[in-house]
Amino acid sequence: MGYACAHGATALRTIAIVNQKGGSGKTTTAINLSASLASLGHPTLLVDLDPQSHCALGLAIPDGRIDLHVGDALLAPDDRQLDVSRLLWSVRSGLHLMPSTTKLAGLEAPRGGLASRTDRDSRLRTTLRKLADRYTWAVVDCSPSIGLLTFNALRAADVVLIPVETGYFALRGAEKQVAALEAMSRRMGEAPSYRVLATMHDPASALSRDVVNELHRRFGNAVVPTVVRQDGRLKEAASLGVPVIDYAPRSKGAEDYLELARWVERRLGDGESLAASTGASATTTLFGAPEESGHSGATTCPAPADDATGEMEDASAAQEHEIAPAMSRAAELAARANRLIAASEETHRSRMRDERVVQAMMEITAPTSAFVAHPARQVAHSEIARFFGAHHTARGVLFVQPGSADQVLAIAGDHNGWSTTASPMRFNAALGVFETVIEAKPGALRYRLVIDGRWMTDPYNPDSVTNAFGEKDSVVHVPAAHAQPTGGPQ
């Protein structure tokens, strides 16, 4: 990590993914790079340092089920071990998430608990040090705003990865991002190496190809050789709350992020600087100064200033526009997040109250029924169909059913006293499916689908038992432990 030079060698290496521009693929890269590293056999920790909590959203972890979050870990006493059973979520084999919530936005405020600390910009480094024996990699999804959270990420990082979408404004955005990082690093007194990652690349587009070529011309060996191509499977995977490598392992997106993980593994896995250039003896850090090949990603620079506000002002100037102080910025971000959450919940409630129901569908007896064959209800990709039915996941039992927006679906079962309204399914318009995640006790969970008021067996789940009425109840078997870890990644 960033403290490796001062505190000796450590197995844990940290990558901070930074970009203040929305739509650059920052969270997509954080989730899928982490999952790809885990798939290569490396225990990996994904840290969501963004108050918008997009990692939890992209992995379908309900905000209401998050007990402890990254903010709690940052404020924890140095001599107290973290309660990983309450803090970390198991995403897949070898990958855990330290989630964020909108409460994180207030942490940077004068009375938020972080700004008043003398070590306010190194709390993440302290937190990761406590977990260093559990993981090989830590990937940090940074806040889009410049503040103490971003400084914490840079202080902890061995390398900064800057995802840049290959559109018209990409070059200007990349230059401003690097300038902002340089200003922040000077104030910190440490300069982690950086790399630029081209994302959302369309090989068929002349503009996209030109942008990639220009990135290489302007940033040289700081550009990652792997390019992440445009792929609809990435959005589909996020909609279902799974990494693309688990959703569509042969897709372009899965291939590109796996190749990125292999490249990172080769360049940083054995302690080599990620910014080391092939065939060159020195590389460029954030300051533009040469760095010896093979040196740690963390570089010692002059001591940082104590004034956190001054740090933010210098970094903001590099972006050529004014950024509000930490308190107002945090309050604005929190208010915006709350408005988005409230609007989303109200939209969902309105849809579930909608009485405009079309002709009642026929009882489903098999996946080949009219329900599946109806043209308006067909799903485009076979990868989505693999998720139909019920599957136990790290966050609970995931139920997915094909359908259309004019329907109302729910799950009735042991978990809710067989209520037809307690467990509604949400319609995902992008994928043309209904989905929900339900907490369930270990053991056999009996359930039935309720579609437009009609009860039926799940045609995509072959496991069933006969109930007292002579009908079939579907059954999903929930293992004893699947939601949160009690130790390192399994």
Low-confidence ranges of the chain (pLDDT < 50): 1-10, 272-333, 336, 343-381, 482-490
pLDDT of residue 316: 42
pLDDT of residue 81: 87
Contacts 24+ apart (CB under 8 A), 239-242: 239/428, 239/430, 239/431, 240/60, 240/384, 240/387, 240/398, 240/400, 240/428, 240/431, 240/435, 241/58, 241/59, 241/60, 241/61, 241/393, 241/395, 241/398, 241/437, 242/59, 242/60, 242/92, 242/393
> Beta strand pairing status for 409-413 and 396-402?
unpaired
pLDDT of residue 383: 60
Q: pLDDT per residue over 92-133, tens digit each?
A: 999 999 999 988 888 888 788 888 888 988 999 999 999 999
Q: How far is CA 52 from CA 7, 99, 414, 435, 436, in A?
A: 32, 10, 34, 22, 21
pLDDT of residue 24: 81
Neighbouring residues of 3: CB distance < 8 A, sequence distance ≥ 6: 122, 125, 129, 156, 298
Main-chain phi, psi angles of 483, to 5 degrees: -90, -50
d(CA 407, CA 358): 8
pLDDT of residue 134: 94
d(CA 184, CA 198): 23
Q: Are 162 and 177 in contact (CB under 8 A)?
A: yes
Q: Are 433 and 400 in contact (CB under 8 A)?
A: yes
Judged by phi (left if over 0) then psi (alpha if -120 to 50, else beta), residue 470 lies in left
H-helix or E-strand spanning residue 413 = strand 409-413
d(CA 325, CA 307): 13
> What's the full length of the chain, in residues?
490
Helices (H) and strands (E) in the chain, counts: 16, 18
Whether pTM > 0.75 for this model: the answer is: no
d(CA 419, CA 54): 31
Q: Are 436 and 62 in contact (CB under 8 A)?
A: no
Domains and CATH numbers, the chain: 4-333 (3.40.50.300), 370-478 (2.60.40.10)
Q: pLDDT per residue over 300-338, tens digit each?
A: 333 333 444 344 444 444 343 333 333 343 444 455 455
d(CA 355, CA 253): 40
Residue at token pair 């030109």: 210
